[in-house]
Every structure is written in structure tokens, then in C-alpha cells.
A and B are shown apart, each in its own frame.
Chain A
Amino acid sequence: MNATLCSEAVAPTRQELLIFTIAGLLAGCRHVAVGAASPIPGAGALLERARSNGTPRVSVLGSTRNNFFTNGGVELFDCAAQGRIDAFFLGGGQIDGSGNVNLVGTGSYPSTEVRWPGSFGSAYLYFLVPRVILFREEHTRRVLVERVDFISAPGTSEKGIYRPGGPHALLTNLALFDYDRERRRFRLRSVHPGHGIEEVLDNTGFAFDRPDTVPQTPLPDHETLALIRGRVRDEIGEVYPRFVETAFPSGV
């Protein structure tokens, strides 16, 4: 009972809303993999598992307890190529309106003005994982651009290229978009509470489709919030101890 009462008293944090929204994008998945430096996607995947009787399986890179891989760094990629991973998460220094992702830098390659770490597994996993969820908290025109400066991984491919995978959705601090593979464009699905369509338009550098009336992103109910603050917090804390200290309301 206490957990329920506390949840009623404390509204969801920004991170908790993102965790809940990610879980909603994973319905029906059998196996979700979470890459490095991804505490919110990891928590979202663990929430979906916690509330759906153990499906999907979740592999969190860096975890000992929630990790199915024993064949070294290559196994994630082999698994993806076999169709054994249904969802994965990618970020991006830049993401454009066609779903192209840039993890390399801005300006002219190779002597980029701003250099980011590099492409990691994006150029491969974007082709092979059916539901790639683009997740970037910062929603600004410097991140969401009309055209990326460097394509680490293209949003779509020409006919004839083997590509069971690709972008599924884009989630930021302001909004949730679906990706339309036919139209090669994003479509706004909802705007998070406290934000409006004008703010989304002002801060998005690319054109996107949207319904006449844009709904608000749904909030987690009390039971779900208690699950996030209990079991999910504990599970993700194994890999991201500093994240759980800051992302969840203290004393809950």
C-alpha cells in the first residue's frame, strides 16, 4: 500500500515518463537488446518485462544478471542477423527527417569540427533489427536536422538491399514520433505533458507529418509507477548505480 500512496504523492519524473513510453514501444517483442550508455532504454525494456510476465527477454550490455551473451562482443550482432533481436536503441549526435543517423561528427569528414565517438554498431543493427527505437533526450534543431552531415546508418535503403530492420520510433524529451517507412518520414504521435506542438515545431529542424489533433503522451498509472520505482529501479541499478540515484524521486 505504501508504494501506491507514495506514487500518488509524487508525479512521474521526466525519466520515468520516458521509461514508461519506451516500454509501450516494446509490446510483443521476444528479445530486446540494450547497448552501452543506455540507462533509460534499459529501464524501459526491464519495465516491459516486469509487467508482461517475463516477456520479452532482455539483454543489457554490461549486465551480469540480465545478459544472455557468452560468445563475446560478436554475439549481439550475430543474434541480430539471425532475427533473434526484435528491438534495439540508437542515439545520434544528429538525426534527420529521413531517419538517417550521425554518430561521427559535424562538418567535413574526416577533419570534423565536432567529433563524436563513432558509429558503434549502428551501420549494421539499423539494417537487421526490426524495431530500432531512436532515443535522444535533447530535442533541438542542432540534433534533429534536415540532413545529417555524416550518415553512420541510413534510415532507409533502396529496393534489393537486404534490410529487415530500420527505424520504428523517435523519442525525445518533448515528443514521440512514429517512423513511416513507405513515406520515409516521421509522424508525430504525441507530445509529452507540459509541452505543446508549437514547442515541438520550433525545436525540430526537419519536416514531419502529424494528425490534426496531437494527443498528449500517456502517463503511467500508479501500479506501473510503483513497478518502475521498485523492481525496475533495482534491476537497472546493477549496471547504472549513479543513474538510479538521480532519475527517481528520493525516499520512494
Chain B
Amino acid sequence: MSACQIRDLDDLAAAIPDGAKLAVSADYSGPAMAATRALIRRRVRNLHLVCVPVSGLQAELLIGAGAVDVIETSAVTLGEYGAAPRFVAAVRRGKITLKDATCPAIHAALQAAAKGLPFMPLRGILGSDLLKHRPDWKVIENPFAPGDSGGDPIVALPAIKPDVALFHAPLADRDGNVFIGRHRELMTMAHAATQTLITVEEISETNLLEDERFAAGVIPALYISGVVEARSGAWPLGLWNAYGEDEAFLRRYVAAAKTDAGFADVLARWLGEPAMAAE
């Protein structure tokens, strides 16, 4: 689907097919929550969720809504609000396939895809139970280790090439260039993914690449498949330098989502509510 066909959140949700390998940003790095709501409304199923490198409420809601088959992540947590109850319940019931990772492994595997490489080596990990449960991670010998060193085992991670990368940013322009500032992992996600779909707070009438002061913090439209304007698009989470999370919502959520019925109720309400104006 080309950018011109994506006009609103429903178009965007329709462009993410069931079964997609979907990369999402961390809750603190521009989570596309309005788009996530549209995805759940369209009853997306069988997602392979890649959290870059962790997630919170976004993964939690998708899991609770039954949209996720596989989750590849270094953690799922609601931070100071506590454990993510639907994630924890799904793990206990064996409802989702876990690909437990460590943060730099997810970054490195995306970098491999961005470079068109089959794998990326990474230090550490050896001797952990993560490695034991990740048959897709291999231990290889460093081919450049000095001959007298007795060898240098190193972990090789297969590239992660998401079908779609999805996140929310403060600003894009009419040409589809997207400002991400210092949140460079979003650039890597866009480089690695086949398609990148973005929601933004605002559309700029001037081209963001024209200003040298901004250009290095901008993802060029070359990598972007669709941009949709969504005010407060990260709500009930926050957006860096723009607005904080909706504390009252999150407290209500963790209390309600402890049970299946409580979650169903809070989800239905969230799907029905208009996005709360950022304060």
C-alpha cells in the first residue's frame, strides 16, 4: 500500500495484515497508541510483535486483546505502575510464544537488517538461559581471533526484518519526512522494516530536510510508507518533550486488568473513548 492510500488510522490499521511481524517502539519512545487502538478495533490477529527493545502498555493491550502469537522482547513492564497483568497471565497460560531477548540483541538484529546482512555478532549472552531458549541464536567462533588465543566464541543473531515498523512522532512534513530527534532507534527500525507507518502530532508545511539543524534527526520519506496525523496519538502514554502519560488512566488500568472481565471492560471503554487532550 503506498503512502497516498493511507489517509486515516483505519487505513493504517488495514495496512498491517494479520500475522505481520510488527516492530513497535518502547513506551518512552513514541508509542503509536491511537494506531494500536485502530488495530485492536479491526481485530488484528496472529501478530509477531518485536519490541524495540522493550514494551509496556502497547504490548500489554495487544496481548490482552488476543492479537499476539509471538512476542520478541527484552521486557514487558508498566514501569512504576507495576507488572503488565495481561502479559503475565498470557505467559502463565502459555497463550503466547516468548522470544526473550536482551536489549542490545534486538538493536543489533535490526541493524543487521538495515545493513542487508544475514546476522550480527554480539558480545555477552554466553552462558545465559536466554541463549538456551533461543535456538535461532548461534554461537560461532570469531574468525579473526589470534591463533594462539584458544578461540573466541561469540553469539550470532539473525537479522530481524519487520514487515512493518510502527511508532508515533511529534512532526512530519507534507513530503513524508519524519522528525525523531535523538530517538535514533526509530531510524534503525525504519531502515530495517519493509514498511514503516507513522502517526504524528502535527504536519509541518515546510520540508524538514531543508533545515540543516533538523536534518540529522529526520527519517527521510524514502523509508516511510504512510503518515497519519493523530493528535495525542501516544495517549494514554506520553510523548517525549510534548506530554506525559495519563497517570489516572494507568492506575485505573492496572487495577482493572488483573481479571479477564476487568480487562474486557477497560478495553471496551478505551476503544470507545476519544483520545484525551494532552495536558
Interface positions of A (Cβ within 8 A of B) = 36-37, 62, 69-75, 77, 81, 103-105, 109-113, 115-128, 150-154, 157-158, 160-162, 242
Contact = CB atoms under 8 A, between A and B. Distances in A.
B271 interface: no
Given A37-B79, A73-B53, A160-B153, A119 B127 contact: no
A75 B53 CA distance: 13
Nearest to B76: A117
Contacts of B79: 36-37
B199 interface: no
B75 A157 contact: no
Contacts of B223: none
B126 interface: yes
B58 interface: no
B76 A118 contact: yes
7 contacts: A37-B79, A73-B184, A110-B100, A117-B83, A118-B54, A124-B122, A160-B150
A186 B29 CA distance: 38
**Interface range for B:** 35 or more
B262 interface: no
B126 A117 contact: no
A73 B123 contact: no
Given A72-B187, A127-B123, A77 B103 contact: yes
B61 to A, nearest CB: 16
Given A74-B188, A77-B103, A118-B73, A111 B92 contact: yes
A74 B111 contact: yes
Contact of B123 (A115, A119, A162): A162
A109 B29 contact: no
Given A69-B182, A117-B83, A119-B75, A111 B91 contact: yes
Contact of A151 (B104, B128, B154): B128
Contacts of A71: 182, 184
A121 B74 CA distance: 7
A16 B267 CA distance: 41
A231 B37 CA distance: 43
Interface string B145-158: 00001111110000
A110 B98 contact: yes
Contacts of B187: 72
A204 B123 CA distance: 32
A77 B53 CA distance: 12
A125 B128 CA distance: 13
B74 A120 contact: yes
Q: Which of A111, A117, A153 has the most CB of B within 10 A?
A: A117
Contacts of A117: 54, 75-77, 83-84
A122 B102 contact: yes
Contacts of B183: 72
B162 to A, nearest CB: 16
Given A73-B52, A74-B104, A124-B103, A161 B127 contact: yes
Nearest to A113: B92
Nearest to B78: A117
B147 to A, nearest CB: 14
Contact of A73 (B87, B103, B124): B103
Q: Which of B107, B150, B183 has the most CB of A within 10 A?
A: B107
B278 to A, nearest CB: 19
Nearest to A110: B98
A73 B92 contact: no
Q: Which of B98, B105, B128 has the most CB of A within 10 A?
A: B128
A236 B161 CA distance: 38
Contacts of B122: 124
Contacts of B153: 160-161
Contacts of B107: 72-74, 77
A113 B150 CA distance: 41
B192 to A, nearest CB: 12
Contact of A123 (B73, B102, B151, B182): B102
B123 A118 contact: no
